[in-house]
Amino acid sequence: MCDTFSLPFGYNEDNVTYFAKNSDRSPNEPHVVIHVPRKNHPQGSTVSCTYITIPQAENTHEAILLKPSWMWGAEMGVNDAQVAIGNEAVFTRTKRGGPALTGMDLLRLALERADTAQAAVETMITLLETHGQGGNCGFDHPFFYDNSFMVADPKEVYIMETSGKNYAVVRAQGQCAISNRLTITTEHQHRSGIEERADFSKRYTEPVYSFFSAARERRQQVMDRLSPSLKTADLFGILRSHEQNVNGREFTRGSVKSVCMHGGGLIGDHTTGSLVAVLRQNKPPTLWCTGASTPCISAFKPVFFGSDAPPVFTSPEQSKDYWLQRERLNRAAIAGFVNPAVLRERIKTLEANWLIREQTIMNDDVPNANGMQTLSREASTQEQALVDKFSAPNWNNLTGRGSYGKYWRKKNAVLG
């Protein structure tokens, strides 16, 4: 389960494109943040994706990817042309085929090959028509689904939804959000497997999984909060939000209806990574990454292209270790050894300072590269000190009863 949303250029007061996403996956599935450099590839070379190998492009973009540790593809990311993409699992009527490109593979391939949002959509369409989509996307149990995508750049935002090799595409005309169900009805500008003005969602939605994903409720929560006046910190707040019935009890029960999803009991998914990206036409982008699960108790750190500080790594293993250290902090909160309210206040204070410094840098006609790198490194150091301070060696000593406690004791035993 996931949620992705955007305030496109022209629909917010800052004349930028805001892009944000939570990745909801298995609680024990590390979500790494890695830097992929720009590369030139020999003619005729190939690239090994999660399940299949396909021809490689001659040139690939630099990108910062946020991805499940075991997959080649990514759940979200931004490239050096300021194209940002996030994917959503969607449940459709189309019969599954064998292993092919996963939705995460399509996303990463588009980031590596496209320099605009429109080009990224065209790239994914070509790859989908040529190679199809398919393969197990579950970490600790089989899980198969199709995908929808939000694709943004500093000028425009597109939504692309798929069912097998069928697809529909719309250009966003204002604030927009997608979740784990098809949303495109008759307004599609590009399509396959559907007639013009026919209802894509009605034709291809699988109703049972789509209903129990609670995607309709989460998407509506996001749309209700989106407005042109929002700033970066407000987007953090949306990604950290919980449904009304769970708010204040999120560390004692799971909820699939919360944008900041908490696993437990019958709820198997959990927010494992989060991103807010600010895309600018004539200035560098800013990526705000947690590099951690549970955004309601994780800090969004400023990341820039050229950054050499966590949460971005060139080594997936180092990023995995970084994520695991913060995941033990989340488990300590579940066990009652960390006070979430106190931790949140410390995080809020740090982020407020980082946001002011980032805005000061970006207000210059030519943002200072050294200033960006200094901010990124200092934010990383300050956040690490906070994590060290709140870390609890007995993080896995959970004694709660009932299905919620049983769920997390099992997860802790594997994680530990």
> What does the chain come to in residues?
416
49 a catalytic residue: no
Closest CA to 412 of 264, 272, 228, 305: 264
State the amino acid at position 140 in one-letter form: D
Token representation of residue 402: 């009932």
Q: Which helix (H) or strand (E) holds 31?
A: strand 31-36
Residue 366: C-alpha distances to residues 201, 282, 355, 360, 369 (Å): 45, 9, 18, 11, 9
Token representation of residue 80: 């050096």
Give the integer Cα–Cα distance in Å for 129 and 166. Answer: 8
Closest CA to 24 of 300, 270, 292, 323: 270
Centroid of chain to Cα 283: 23
Closest CA to 230 of 115, 138, 222: 222
Give the integer Cα–Cα distance in Å for 214 and 180. Answer: 8
Q: Which helix (H) or strand (E) holds 148?
A: strand 146-152
Residue labelled with tokens 């004791």: 409
Give the integer Cα–Cα distance in Å for 340 and 167. Answer: 42
Token representation of residue 74: 């990514």
Q: Name the catalytic one among 2, 49, 137, 296.
A: 2
Give the integer Cα–Cα distance in Å for 414 and 408. Answer: 10
Query: Which of helix, strand or coil describes residue 313?
Result: strand
Give the integer Cα–Cα distance in Å for 207 and 216. Answer: 12
Query: Which of helix, strand or coil describes residue 191?
Result: strand
Catalytically active residues are 2
